[in-house]
Structure 1
Amino acid sequence: MAKSLFLLCLHVLILIDMIQGDGMIEVFKWKQMDYYNRGDKRLHRMPDPSAPVVFPGRYGRENHFRGKRDVLTSRDTPAGIMPRSNMAATENTGPYVAYNNVPMGVTHFRGRLFVTMPRRRVGIPSTLNFIDMRSDGKQRSPKLRAYPDFELNQFNASETNLVSVYRTTVDACQRLWFIDTGMLEYPNNRQQIRRPSIWIVDLATDRVRKRYDIPESIVETGRGLASLTIDVGDRHQCQKAYAYIPDLVNSRLYVYSLEEDHMWVFQHNYFNFDPLAGDLHIGGQTFRWDDGIFSTTLGPKQSDGSHDVYFHAMASNNEFVVSNRVLQKESNAARSDHGNDFRVLGSRGVNKQCTMHDYDPRTGVVFYAEIQTNGVGCWKSSQPFSAASHGIVASDPQNMIYPSDLTIDEDGVIWVMSNSMPIFIYSQLDPNAYNFRIWKQDVYEAKHNTVCE
């Protein structure tokens, strides 16, 4: 009897090992984030009289979002944070407040790992940063370097400088794209100090090639512009690139044409959050979020040369799809009825809410950063979209708390950031514990031993 029970348990363990993939490899981890340049030398400088004045409500009516309810979400005040009126002394003590620096995005390109630090609190020296893998790659907790330099990250020094960046992406033309929200998301006092903007940086020269201020007719503020996907055929069509930009607050999808230097808006019911999937339990915190369309990714090439664009809301277990041919035609955005252009793919399963996802053309697999499983999931795009066809690459509720970003580089390596965000928002991070981690895995190893093979 005992032997039979032992063999049964062993069989179950083997099956579990087969169901879950080879996991993710931990690359870096931090208790608190630090920088090579904290701006310490600027502590006693007098304010620049030519710097733009920072005040709330400059662009749009922050308290009058159409259709938004007063719901506590991932973008609201965390527990234990002092109100703005009591922050003056803290702000004057220096530009760097270690606890407030919570990383959000990660993107790798040829030895540089780009790490974003949205300005959701005071004391963040630079919002766009990188780790030099050649010089600092063997460190456990490397310091960040401002990108492209420290000066461009000082939002009060110039009206053309960076304010707050959530995530980045690299296109086929070796350009770094990102959205600067233009907003300081300080508790109880969000400040839209300039228009949200699309940025393009040439990674060969580290020079800014394009900045496009998003018109107020498109969106009132930058709150909710947390990611983008770039659609460009190849390196010979770099000027014909399109950017697909989800708005998780207003539940819209924006399309930007680089060639036309123009932007338009799609609205659809599929961009909304699922009210049945907004209750979350992550990192010991129980809460409710209402984040709408959050992530897009360019799927496999179709027989007519088009590509599917997969998308989902964060507060949802469902995935949807639309052709890039639909999105790239501005006249389609004006239609009141989109017919069958936007389609339901299906459900990933219960408790499969996801932040970012990315399609890998080598394997035909979409990889997901799943927040309730604290891990990475996968789906092979040639298979039916159902819970049964989704695999588990990794799941680690102790160390991979809230995977906030997932990207795949040109070499077929998945990069994941986990940042313990729900604990930061609703409780308190332990500064003596490792709170932030970056993981990686080869796409072939990631799908190994899963249904995504």
Structure 2
Amino acid sequence: MLDDFKQNNNNKTIYGGRSRFLCILLGICSTSIHHVFTANPRLDTLYEWSQLEFDYQSDFDRQTDIALKTFIPGKPAPIDTDVYYSRDNGHNKIFITIPRFQPGIPVTLGTVSGKMYNGNPVITPYPSWDWHRNPEACSPNRMVSVYRIMVDKCDRLWVLDTGRFLETQTCPPQILAFDLVTNKIVHRYEIPSSLLESRSILVTPVVDVREKCSETFVYIADCQTFSIIVHDVKEGTFWKATDKTMYPYPNYGTFNIKGDSFDLMDGVLGMTLSPYVPGKDRKLYYHAMSSPTENWVFTSDLRNRTRFMHDPESSPEVFHTYRGERRTQSAAEAMDANGIMYYGLMSDVKIGCWNSDGDYGSRNYNDVIASDSVTLQFASGMKVVKNRKHFEELWILTSRFQKIATDSLDLRDKNFRILVGKVSDHVFGTVCEKKPSGGQHGGGTYGMIRP
């Protein structure tokens, strides 16, 4: 059944009013992994594009946007993905972000539809076309440029809009939240200019829901001022923390991926939270993209506004760096309910894992769960999602970003992908695996499954 799914994926309607994911059985045995990558099941390529296409009402509308250079085919490049499993499993959504750092991008946030255009899955603007038109106008219902998003356990989609159009700060950056049951906006705050600099680029939101949905904090990475902005949703307040651990490393500012080289000095970008345990503190893990290190801070310290409200650099003692290092840069990261972190390895073109019970970088706690020199290039979006069957899935967006950076993208190739796999299958046999009592490895299903 898995092979049938792979062969027929391009012809299937993945979700929509009457459609569902194919239920995929993963009964694949794996060879044990001891510090070297072996044959765990491959991540499934759920979608792939040579170029992004959008859900225009007619070909005339598409051609009009092309004539106006609102849409330049081949220019839009996705960065992130996240998944919403509806309560009845009938209104599931796969989100995709396309930041406007290049011209010709008509939509900055959408959902993957069941439609195809010239062999490419069609992206439907979210929540509607109106939110994406004329971004320079700074209308109340707007999205200018979105790098990353996050779906929380309260059925909300959090959208971080940088407000930057190409190289210009066109509108104030903002944090938005949509009720995914109604698709209506439920939260909107513009980020105070006092916390920003002219070079600020807000790239990653991480949502920390406490005991109740009303008690939510959002941690926002600014990769160019090397800081984390904290938003208390209930109080409507913001503050900023800055530390040397959020800076890029000059020796890691040159990226080499499959023979292409480009320079990028991005600071803090990858962020994820330790599992939530009532009554216990959480860690926010983070790293600069152009660095080899992983860092952490207790969220109780970040949430303490009085620490930082007068001086963002007031508390260097609360930020920590692990001694171990990666061999290469990494962008996005995500952590599962067992405290296993997943992250991309840029030059290696692999997906790594780390058991956070042990030392970062240690061969006893770090491993590789997937290796594919074609499909795993530049993993810029990564989420761990629990489906309605209570299985955790790893969702990854990859791209040939190095070709975009070097202006050598070939539209005859498959350039962008969304991949997915069941977490327990991919960590099985690695040093990252936490074995349940009895030592049994669970099989079962994953995907958007009909209840």
* TM-score bracket for the superposition, by shorter chain length: 0.7 to 0.9
Paired residue for 1:317? Answer: 292
Match of 2:189 among 199, 209, 212: 212
Alignment of 1:326-365 (within 5 A): 326-333=301-308, 334=310, 336-338=313-315, 340-351=317-328, 353-361=329-337, 363-365=338-340
Say whether 1:34 aligns with 2:53.
Answer: yes
Question: Which residue of the partner structure matches residue 405 of structure 1?
Answer: 381
Q: Counterpart amino acid of 1:395? A: S
TM-score normalized by the length of structure 1? 0.79
Q: How much does 1:450 deviate?
A: 1.5
Q: Are the equivalent residues in 2 in contact too, given 1:36–1:143 (CA < 8 A)? A: yes
Which deviations, in whole Å up to 9, do the C-alpha atoms of 1:193-232 show, x marking residues without a partner?
1101111111110011111111110103574211110001
Normalized against structure 2, the TM-score is what?
0.80
Ranges of 4+ aligned residues in structure 1 off by more than 6 Å: 12-17
**Counterparts of 1:246 and 1:310 in 2: how far apart (Å)?**
12
2:129 — aligned with what?
150
- Distance (Å, rounded) in 1 between the aligned partners of 2:424 and 2:119: 25
Change (3 A) 1:163 1:40: farther
User: For the structure 1 residues 452 and 22, does the alpha-carbon distance in structure 2 shift closer, same or farther, using more than 3 Å as the test?
Assistant: farther
Amino acid at match of 2:126: Y
The CA distance in 2 between the partners of 1:39 and 1:329, in whole Å, is: 51
Q: Decide which moves more: 307-316 or 397-406.
A: 397-406
Q: Deviations over 1:412-439 (max 9, x none)?
A: 1111111111111113111111111110
Deviation sequence 1:110-134 (CA, Å, 0-9, x none): 12110111112222221110014xx
Q: Give the direction of change, closer, same or farther, for the CA distance of 1:39–1:103 in structure 2 (3 Å limit).
A: farther
Q: Distance in 2 between matches of 1:327 and 1:407?
A: 22
- 2:41 is equivalent to residue 22 of structure 1: yes
- CA gap 1:40/1:118 in 2 versus in 1, 3 angstroms: farther
Q: Conserved in 1, the CA contact under 8 Å of 2:197 and 2:225?
A: no
1:227 aligns with 204
Give how far 1:177 is off.
0.4
| Kept after mapping to 2: 8 A contact 1:115/1:129 | yes
Residue in 2 that maps onto 1:264: 239
The farther-off stretch of 317-326 and 156-165 is 156-165
Using the TM superposition, give the Cα deviation of residue 14 of structure 1 relative to its aligned residue in structure 2, in angstroms.
Answer: 8.7
Indicate which of 53, 72, 75 corresponds to 1:100: 75
Please identify, of 256-265 and 301-310, the stretch whose mean Cα deviation from structure 2 is larger.
301-310
Residue 232 of structure 1 aligns with an amino acid whose one-letter code is V
Aligned partner letter, 2:170: I
Query: Contact 2:36 / 2:367 at 8 angstroms: preserved in 1?
Result: no
Q: Indicate conservation of the 8 Å contact 1:39/1:125, yes or no.
A: no
2:178 is the counterpart of 1:201: yes
Asked if 2 retains the 8 angstrom alpha-carbon contact of 1:19 and 1:451, the reply is: no
Which residue matches 2:448? none
Q: Secondary structure at the match of 1:355?
A: coil
Farther-moved stretch of structure 1 (217-226 vs 322-331):
217-226
Q: Distance in 2 between matches of 1:324 and 1:14?
A: 34
Is the Cα contact below 8 Å between 1:369 and 1:405 reproduced in 2?
no
3-state secondary structure, aligned to 2:331: strand
Identity rate, percent: 25
Q: CA offsets per residue over residues 286-323 of structure 1, 9 Å max, x none?
A: 23321111122111357951101111101111111110
Deviation at 1:15, TM superposition (A): 6.9
Counterpart CA distance in 1 for 2:362 and 2:407 is 32
Name the aligned partner's letter for residue 417 of structure 1: L
**Which residue of structure 1 aligns with residue 415 of structure 2?**
435
CA distance in 1, matches of 2:63, 2:359: 61
Q: Per-residue displacement from partner, 1:78-120 (whole Å, max 9, x unpaired)? A: xxxxxxxxxxxx9753432111111111101112110111112
Instruction: Summarize the Cα distance change of 1:164–1:39 in structure 2 as closer, same or farther, 3 Å threshold.
Output: farther
C-alpha displacement at 1:284, in angstroms?
1.8
* Cα distance in 2 between the residues matched to 1:303 and 1:203: 25
Say whether the 8 Å CA contact 2:33–2:431 is kept in structure 1.
no
Q: Could you tell me how far apart the structure 2 residues matched to 1:260 and 1:308 are?
A: 22
1:294-309 equivalences in 2 (<5 Å)? 294-301=269-276, 305-309=280-284
The aligned amino acid for 1:410 is: K
Q: Is contact 1:349-1:387 (8 Å) kept?
A: no
The one-letter amino acid of 2:47's match is: F
| Residue matched to 2:12 | none
2:94 equivalent to 1:119 = no
Query: Is the aligned partner of 1:177 residue 2:120?
Result: no
C-alpha distance in 1 between matches for 2:373 and 2:237: 43
Distance 1:359 1:232, change over 3 A: same
- SS of 1:373's equivalent in the other structure is coil
1:424 and 2:404 correspond:
yes
Amino acid at match of 1:426: T
Q: Is the 8 A contact 1:179 1:228 kept in 2?
A: yes
User: What is the aligned counterpart of 1:250 among 190, 210, 225?
Assistant: 225
Check 1:17–1:216 CA distance in 2 against 1; reply closer, same or farther (3 A cut). closer
Counterpart Cα distance in 2 of 1:417 and 1:395? 15
Go from structure 1 to structure 2 and tell me whether the alpha carbon gap of 1:38 and 1:381 turns closer, same or farther (over 3 Å shift): farther
Q: Map of 1:14-93 to 2, 5 A cutoff? A: 19=38, 21-37=40-56, 93=68
Change (3 A) 1:345 1:40: same
Whether the 8 Å contact between 1:283 and 1:420 is mirrored in structure 2 is no
Aligned twin of 2:139: 159
Q: Quick one: distance in 1 between partners of 2:267 and 2:227?
A: 8
Corresponding residue SS for 1:204: coil
CA displacement 1:120-176 (0-9 Å, x = unmatched):
2222221110014xx459x97311111011111112565221111111101121100
3-state SS in 1 of match to 2:421 = strand
Could you list the runs of 5+ residues in structure 1 that have no partner in the other structure? 1-11, 46-89
Q: Is the 8 Å Cα contact of residues 37 and 146 (structure 1) preserved in structure 2?
A: no
